Amino acid sequence: MRTAPTILHLDMDAFFAAAEQAAKPSLRGKAVVVGGLGPRGVVATASYEARAFGVHSAMPMGQARRLAPNAAYLVPRFGLYREISEQVMGLLRELSPLVEPLSLDEAFVDLEAGGAASDEVSARATGERLRKDIKRVTGLTGSVGLAASKMLAKIASEAAKPDGLVLIEPGTERAKLGPMSVRTLPGVGPATGDHLRRAGITTVEEIAEAGEDELVRLLGKAHGAGLYAMALARDERPVVAERDTKSVSVEDTYDVDIHDRVRVRGEVARLADRCVQRLRAAGHSGRTIVLKVRRYDFSTLTRSETLRGPTDDPAVVREAAARLLESVDTTGGVRLLGVGVSGLADYTQEDLFAQAMAVRDELEGAAEAGEAGGEHAEEAVEEVVAPAERRWAAGHDVVHAEHGHGWVQGSGLGRVTVRFETPDSAPGRVRTFRTDDPDLEPARPLPLVAVEGAEEDVKEGA
């Protein structure tokens, strides 16, 4: 591990929600939740105002609505997020040729490789300058972590949130990590965390004290040895420029085998939604859906289905995974389930017909529930259905022949409510139209307003 804190981790603050607040003056300083708004929708990002009510990413949207009923609930606009991400990644590449994007809003940078930093002083100055540049170019904020390894840099950026910078000095890593929860370490999810807790291990220091042999006995050779090394602050992974991602997947291991077929189906649907969330965060779509099932006897089965074109539509992935599950016998019990997507691409065909169907399905579901706000789709970039059947996704852009640019606040029962404002205007007026109003059309997102000469305070940590 290097002797200077020259690995930088950038994580944009509440990225999707912050972009929506920047684009919509009436939402600034208010609770905003972005995600899938249908019956099975999950939260992609919540603003810090919404997090104060307990809303967080990956939470079922129904639960979020109960916690924060007055928040603004919006469908993601991935085209806008990708544009902002490209601007941010461009700033990172000015610092170093070694930039490793993890998602649209997160990346590692090797500052030493680009000559941007060689010691603590230059690393801190580079991190501070980067944060100011991001604010100046995009109007948004990001948190920066600096350390001698990728693991520690990521931990530092988490401690810096929101809108801060934390540097972990080489030589202090063990002292910093010791009192932290085992869940702080990469690869320690709920199942592993519970397994360690039952063994009396709840902090990183207790992992180190348990020793490698005990960790291997508890978790297996690869996982146990890797976790022990991380507890000792050992992380030699290099920053790899422009990783060529082959697939995106999620899986869960269950402490008690699942025998109930209905629950197995529910778990597969939930994993499919999580997989799509990760797929979209990476800015990808895919055409091959993969189901992984580890049964009670440790036999592992995989099934796959290749679609006609790439997608990041959660309904499509859920349905494909459900079809694959039908060919697997789970009567003896299931220890592990996983859903993945491969054959990745940077565009999706859901921009066309699949998304129109998703909007229609969510509208029908909302109407049955008697909700006026059932206008939502996972992502609707362009209007693709007949004018008489047009549906309007909450948060998406529209333009009116008389009133100009605005965004959809809600729709239902043949009406659509629009707030007319732009990123550089004052909070705008709200008007309601028929959903088939010929003067109202879908529109492309407007660019955010850059903050020229942005100055900001930096939260620092040793």
Positions marked active-site: 106
Main-chain dihedrals φ then ψ at residue 418, nearest 5 degrees: -125, 135
Residue 130 Cα distances to 261, 400, 435, 452, angstroms: 51, 38, 44, 14
Q: Identify whether the C-beta of residue 403 lies closer than 8 Å to the C-beta of residue 420.
A: yes
Distance CA 131, CA 160 (A): 12
Going by the DSSP 8-state scheme, the letter that residue 294 receives in this structure is E
User: Around Cβ 97, how many Cβ atoms within 10 Å?
Assistant: 12
CA distances in angstroms from 21 to 33, 140, 376, 395, 422, listed in the order given: 10, 10, 18, 11, 11
The first and second tokens of residue 261, run together, are 């077929």
Q: What are phi and psi of 240, to 5 degrees?
A: -110, 120
DSSP secondary structure string for all residues of 424-443: TS-S-EEEEEETT-TTEEE-
Tokens of 179: 């009192």
- What DSSP state is assigned to residue 141? -
Query: In 115-220, which ranges are continuous DSSP H helix?
Result: 120-138, 150-160, 173-177, 190-198, 204-210, 212-219
Q: Put residue 354 in one of left, alpha, beta given phi > 0 → left and psi -120 to 50 → alpha.
A: alpha
Q: How far apart are CA 362 and CA 355, in angstroms?
A: 11
* Residue 308 burial class via C-beta count within 10 angstroms: exposed 0-12, middle 13-18, buried 19 and up: exposed
